Chains A and B, each alone.
Chain A
Amino acid sequence: MSYLGFVLANLLRNRRRSILTLLSLALSVFLISTLEGLLQHVQNSPRMTGSERRVIVRRRTSLQDRLPEHYVDKVRAIPSVEAATPMLWFGGLYKNTKPENFFGQLSCDPDLFRQIVPEAEVVDPKTGEPRPELYEEFRKDRSGAIAARDLFVKFGWKLGDKITLIGTIYPVNMELTLRAAYHAKQGTDNQTLYYHHKYIDELLGRPGLIGVVSARAKNVDDIPAIIEQVDAKFANSEFETLTETERAFQAGFVQMLGNIEFFLRAIATAVAFAMLMVAANTTAMAARERAHEIAVMKAIGFTPARTLALLLMEATLLCTIGAAVGAFLAWATQGVLEAASQASVMSFFLSGYSLAPWIPVAGIAIGVLVGVASSLGPCWRVAQLPIVVGLRRTA
């Protein structure tokens, strides 16, 4: 028998309690890891990396307020801007109001779209193989659309299919012909359909208004200057602007769901606290029940320090195993979570969700910390209990 064998034998003493504690710890770490993973993904998702050279210009008053279309030319006129396109969020319904049918719908200038979003590779919607020639089909067709290949797969679309988007923000419906598919490994999301800005402008009676301007800088170092120059150019005008990096813009867009960071972190903290309480309760019960036995061990010759170490090892091992199970579950269910999100409005945010490797590791570390923190008090008390007092406790 080794010390580890002794610790394991004690862990299995009350199997039901140990298993229930382990499961509650596993569930807690699973929740913490998944929540943190979601938060990290939403705040710092791969589609945001690679977009460093893009800025978004929007109306300072609100994202819902429009900008004049001629702002696009004024942004393009800035020397450090490589290209700029108008964009308008249509927000129409596809088929019905079911959340799983939600996807992004943005207008663009088809002549400049590829220059601004070069990471969106034009592919065959069936095979995913590169087919750059398809883009020309989209560019030539005023009512044509290029959509993410993921959307083709999800809805069973084929090239040449006609789809109708029912306006919810605007009093018009859009009939689009699917001309091309794109796929971006990073930099932009794979849940959006792009259409010609001129087409929506015509449908709306040529109001000459756009949602935002998406501009690509010639150099990433130019971004701060561009932001400053754009906002300065339109300062004190009727349509003042707020220019920010695409990453900041998307993070702000996520914030429209509410203070999601606070919400998720509050849940994670509550779960961690509950985990601490469960572990502390289990350890306190186990230590109290075994006060007599621990006194016997000390009478045999175990020092208080060695006794404390064994008790801590027991509690920490249980918490670590539970945390490891939870961390593994969080890692193993990444795909399930992303697949499940496809049936909801969250698919736009959870596209490409994957757990950063440090999160499960941190989950296990939390388990170790909880093990030590929850057991130190009860174990210290019972390890320091005078032997004669411990021996009088009911066995």
Chain B
Amino acid sequence: MNKQSRYYEKITHIIFTIICFAWVYPFLWMVFTSFKTEEEMFAGGLRLLPSHFNFGNFIRAWEQANFSIYFWNTVIVTVVGVLITIFLTSTSGYTLGRYNFPGKKFFIGTVMVMMFMPKGYTIIPTFELIRQLGLLDSLAGVILAQVGGVNTMGVLLFMGAFSQIPKELEEVAKLDGASYPRIFWQIMLPMVKPIIATVSIFQFMSSWNDFFTPLVFTLGKPNLRTLGVGMYSFIGEHSTDWVGMAAAASISLIPIIIVYMCLQRYFIEGIAGAVKG
């Protein structure tokens, strides 16, 4: 019996190892191809590893193909997007989770209705709105289009977390003369750190990986492209430079893969928590 179950365990490990190798193979292929020369890539057949590591493709992608610009654009869009989202969702989640006031139910109701309403093609009016605000030729426009709609799930997560904190805490603080924003900033916000992490990770992923919004907003504006859009236009403009393409893809994906590997527990717990709640 015991011997048999150990045997099954071994088989499970073998199967999962094969599957996982196939699963991450595209990323291995991408990274190793980035170090190959053009000739090696064409002659190499199925060989995964490069004969030696050369960084020429990275330099070409970074400097000539403007991936330095795309990279920093993506960093700005992502960091500012996460900060704005945390600010909006935590402040609104705080008032909605802890206080009753006229209009609260109406607001929550509206948010719910908007969540389930068929959206149509909202990028068109959003584009018009950004144009009228005069932000069309700036990263600010891209950021607003991405996060301006407010991450509703984030609001709900903060609302739930803040409503769990016992009332006594802020009553004591109030007696000590702490003001409303100070109670929020110094007492309440530090108590919901896990939610801050979850919402940040979600927003980080969606901002870093967004393709549609920056695609629409940077049509004809190469200087505002983010990595995904830059990659897409790269294959249009340099369709023969395969190794350069692989290097560009590595520049786009390696940062998020590193962040994920370091914080993988939070990623997975955050995703799991979202469907449970």
A and B interact physically = no
